[in-house]
Structure 1
Amino acid sequence: MKINSRFLKEILFKKYLYITIPLVMGSCMKAQTLNVSGSNWVVSVPTITEAGTNYSGTYQSSASLLTLSGLLPGSFLNLLSGGAAKVSMHYIPTTWNNSLHLYAKRSGGTTSIGGVCVLCTATINGGTTFIEIPQGTDATFFTINFTGVLGLGNSVSFSSINTQLQISGVSVAIPATSYTAKLVFTIAAN
């Protein structure tokens, strides 16, 4: 296949994808909190010198790019009725191409129960494989399941939930520019 020099100039570029992660507190009640710590993710796509030979099209952040933590107070736990709280996610495009797809998965995570509670347990479930992050509508990332008989001053705190991001769909067909999106995490009764 013969490639003319104009075509080569068009495919010689670097793409940078910026994913902005704001510190977001989402809730349907005032007191439960979801804290996001970490940094923005800058994906550096290698210079593409020949179509399809030196880039994978899918890139992953470090396994602990973000860390989620928070608190579920007793007033919120009463609403769960032995159920679960869910952490959801979506993205808001700033400068984006719809051929790009974002994913997240979690690793680790601990829970602790505060106050007087009989036979109480709190566990973090789901989200250990990559889940696509939709644009504008929430997708469940993971749940925090709670069981037990509430007593005085109860709360469940969760921490050390490491979050890794993945982007796919990178290709020479996408115009070379910087793409940015904002991730939003929320927590509510399941």
Structure 2
Amino acid sequence: MKINSRFLREIFLKIHLYLIPLTISSYLEAQTINASGSGWTVSVPSVTEAGTNYAGTYQSTSNITTLSGSLPGSFLSLLTSGAARVSMHYNAISWNNSLHLYAKRSGGSTTINGLCIACSATINGGTNYIEIPPATDTAFFTINFTGVLGLGNSVSFSGINVQLQISGVSVTIPATTYSSQIVFTIGPN
């Protein structure tokens, strides 16, 4: 049996994703976001016979990273909408534009530090996959705050687990290693 080489292609695609937390400063104290964990390497199986293609979409089997950080009172008092927004984008290192990245979060907790009257802080959104764009931030989730600030207030957040997904994997994408950096930023909503 003769197999047309056009349909038989040996491809091994590795995608490395690196996480970079950014800190954005306010005029008094800095709000911070930290990423702990490791990158994600996606191993796409080789096409071994004609007519076999990739699944096309792969997701991390576990959480890739955990986000944590703090929002000082000086930042909280500037929030006109009562929410801080965590945004994300990716910086392509070696990338193919046919590949699309997505992230979703699970879990997370907040702690209010200092004197605060009728205060609450909640983490909202981001529990479904959201596409991560190249270079330009998109909203991932918010940390909402309500209450009357006292002295020495801050909100700490932790345990926000991030899972990733990639789509667009195909035999039409050249066989090589692709990598990208995911950047998380935090600021006013």
Aligned length: 187
CA offset at residue 64 of structure 1? 1.5
Corresponding residue of 2:168:
169
**CA distance in 2 between partners of 1:102 and 1:62 (Å):** 15
Pick one of 5, 14, 17 that aligns with 2:15.
17
CA offset at residue 54 of structure 1? 5.3
- Spell out, residue by residue over 1:147-173, the C-alpha distance to the aligned partner (whole angstroms, 9 max, x if none): 000001100000000000000000000
Corresponding residue of 2:139:
140
Corresponding residue of 2:92:
93
**CA distance in 2 between partners of 1:73 and 1:148 (Å):** 14
Q: What's the % identity of the aligned pairs?
A: 64
Cα distance, 1:151–1:52 mapped onto 2, change above 3 Å: farther
Structure 1 residue ranges without an equivalent (≥5): none
What stretches of structure 1 move > 6 A for 4+ residues in a row? none
Corresponding residue of 1:150:
149
**CA distance in 1 between partners of 2:129 and 2:180 (Å):** 18
Corresponding residue of 1:119:
118
**CA distance in 2 between partners of 1:16 and 1:123 (Å):** 36
Structure 2 counterpart of 1:94, which letter? I
CA contact (8 A) 1:97 1:179 kept: yes
Pick one of 12, 23, 27 that aligns with 1:26.
23
Q: Within 5 Å, give how 1:12-91 maps onto structure 2.
A: 12-22=10-20, 24-29=21-26, 30-50=29-49, 53=52, 55-81=54-80, 83-91=82-90
**CA distance in 2 between partners of 1:28 and 1:140 (Å):** 18
**CA distance in 1 between partners of 2:56 and 2:64 (Å):** 20
TM-score (norm 1): 0.93
CA contact (8 A) 2:67 2:162 kept: yes
Structure 2 residue ranges without an equivalent (≥5): none
Q: Within 5 Å, give how 1:103-118 maps onto structure 2.
A: 103-118=102-117
**CA distance in 2 between partners of 1:52 and 1:45 (Å):** 16
TM-align CA RMSD: 1.7
